Structure 1
């Protein structure tokens, strides 16, 4: 009887020990799994470790820019699309500039529908993962990060803008075999979403020196040639670069001794109108005097200033104002 009781007690102790060992093993395995998940997440979001060349290359067929459609039932509102521009993406929370082909859009629901933040985010995330995109950031932009970059962003406040303080942003990168590096970021709430896509590209310089051939072709085909001759600021003194343009005009006039031109000066609408008209007249005369000094007869030339009276485009941006500060050569028949 005592032997039976002893064996029973021993069995209880063994079972208890086995149970304890299994419980401890389960806890250890669970802790190891948790550590693995945390480590993986931290690695993906460490901006200091981000290196585009270390990412796996995606061989997925992405289609054409901007590479994805919107989820069914959603639409854009006047998206911003530029062949080349700058956009800032959060690398470890630091808004970092990348350049290339750009797409930025505000996203809303179709008429009569309610926008779902969850539907928008889940649709994008699942699709991006399916084509080999890697999440590099998922978090908030700090006030300091916003203030550091905001004045550098030429598209701040335009369609599809994001990157404001305390805004939650998710950012993915696709290192595509055929399309190069593609950056995608989006944010949303229950009112709507915002989506940015940039296909990274190197800048290609398209400005070339104006040549006599260009001027002659424009005069023959259009009857006028538009030049951006360099002058000293708010003066009629021609700079060294401007002298080169004048030499090209001289070449055209010497090629065709019968050619006569009117030299017309133009400004933007900044400042006093009377001053601008006088400045444009003096600049046109400066070009004419330089041509005469290079052997062109005065009888073949005339000069007049129009100030801001004849703009090429509206003076509503610095870029457009620069286009209006010009000299036009008009062929006299």
Structure 2
């Protein structure tokens, strides 16, 4: 009887000892899983360029690297000295400004495009020069709907950032070249590549001065000015009046100068109407100069409408360049 009781007690103690470590082990595993889960899901907004280590690699000149052998730019690259490009920072398409290069990529003639070859070539090269991967995934449809109208280059060459598009995004931080942002995507038919060298915006617009007008007329024989008028009218706007005042100052500085005032428009709308409006605007400038005390015999005015474009009327930017007033030196 006593031997049976002792045997039962010993068995109970053995079972208790075996169970205790198992419970502790379960707690440790649970704790480790929680820790791994927290590490795997970074909080939104966690990327900070200031926390990215500098690369001391020799990167060369913009756009910094070539395409892999056997691949080529499908069309003419979109290349701008200053623009904006959207990159997926923590899954949020964020605007970054600077020098921009965007291309569609295809295989050379006689070659087959390989998604794996394209992506691995670029990823390996970027890592070799100290780039840090920021994002590798897709943006949600809601995110695309939120941002895409803000992108002035949406749908253009090399455009990246569509819903369900697999995007790989890297950053190279350098002391000499600044921050360089690279994103690319591909399928098994073609690829896309964006490179941006971050730069701050530098204002290049300066106020028109009488001295600049005199210099242009003396050295070039003409001065091209952009004088604002009220919409579809010949009334000079407030800021346009400031430019006309500078013309008056220029003519007072150089009393021997005689000028022809020419009005020009883009090719939007009716040609006859445009010519009439440009003529009225040129004459409005003449009348204002006479009011400033410039002798009328030193002036003439004529409108040419869209007959003499400065550049081709093939974009809104170029059309704006054609809507101008030219002062032409008369001998």
TM over 0.5: yes
1:231-270 map, 5 Å = 231-270=229-268
SS at match of 1:309: coil
SS at match of 2:273: helix
The alpha carbon displacement at 1:71 in A equals: 1.4
Query: What is the distance in 1 between the residues matched to 2:37 and 2:188?
Result: 29
Equivalent residue for 1:173? 171
Are 1:82 and 2:42 counterparts?
Answer: no
Residue 67 (structure 1) aligned to one of 64, 69, 78: 64
Residue 290 (structure 2) aligned to one of 292, 300, 307: 292
Query: What is the distance in 2 between the residues matched to 1:311 and 1:38?
Result: 64
1:46-57 map, 5 Å = 46-57=43-54
State whether residues 47 and 136 of structure 1, in contact with CA within 8 Å, keep that contact through their aligned partners in structure 2: no
**Where in structure 1 do 4 or more consecutive aligned residues deviate above 3 Å?**
34-43
Structure 2 runs not aligned, ≥5 long:
1-16
1:250-329 map, 5 Å = 250-329=248-327
Structure 1 runs not aligned, ≥5 long:
1-16
Query: What is the distance in 2 between the residues matched to 1:41 and 1:120?
Result: 27
Query: What is the distance in 2 between the residues matched to 1:177 and 1:160?
Result: 28
Equivalent residue for 2:200? 202
Deviation readout 1:275-303 (Å, 9 max, x if unpaired): 21121111101100111011111111111
Instruction: From the superposition, tell whether residues 109 and 39 of structure 1 become closer, same or farther in structure 2 (CA, over 3 Å).
Output: farther
Q: Which region of structure 1 is more displaced relative to structure 2, 268-277 or 176-185?
A: 268-277
Equivalent residue for 1:229? 227
State whether residues 230 and 241 of structure 1, in contact with CA within 8 Å, keep that contact through their aligned partners in structure 2: yes
The alpha carbon displacement at 1:186 in A equals: 0.3
State whether residues 216 and 223 of structure 2, in contact with CA within 8 Å, keep that contact through their aligned partners in structure 1: yes
Residue 152 (structure 2) aligned to one of 151, 154, 169: 154
Task: Provide the aligned length of Structure 1 versus Structure 2.
Answer: 312
SS at match of 1:296: coil
State whether residues 139 and 169 of structure 1, in contact with CA within 8 Å, keep that contact through their aligned partners in structure 2: yes
Deviation readout 1:184-210 (Å, 9 max, x if unpaired): 100001101100011111000011011
The alpha carbon displacement at 1:51 in A equals: 1.4
Equivalent residue for 2:161? 163
1:112-151 map, 5 Å = 112-151=110-149
Equivalent residue for 2:187? 189
Length-normalised TM-score, structure 2: 0.87
Query: What is the distance in 1 between the residues matched to 2:36 and 2:127?
Result: 18
RMSD: 2.5
The alpha carbon displacement at 1:37 in A equals: 6.8
State whether residues 214 and 254 of structure 2, in contact with CA within 8 Å, keep that contact through their aligned partners in structure 1: no
The alpha carbon displacement at 1:88 in A equals: 0.5
Deviation readout 1:245-276 (Å, 9 max, x if unpaired): 11221122122222211101111122222221
Instruction: From the superposition, tell whether residues 146 and 128 of structure 1 become closer, same or farther in structure 2 (CA, over 3 Å).
Output: same
Instruction: From the superposition, tell whether residues 136 and 40 of structure 1 become closer, same or farther in structure 2 (CA, over 3 Å).
Output: farther
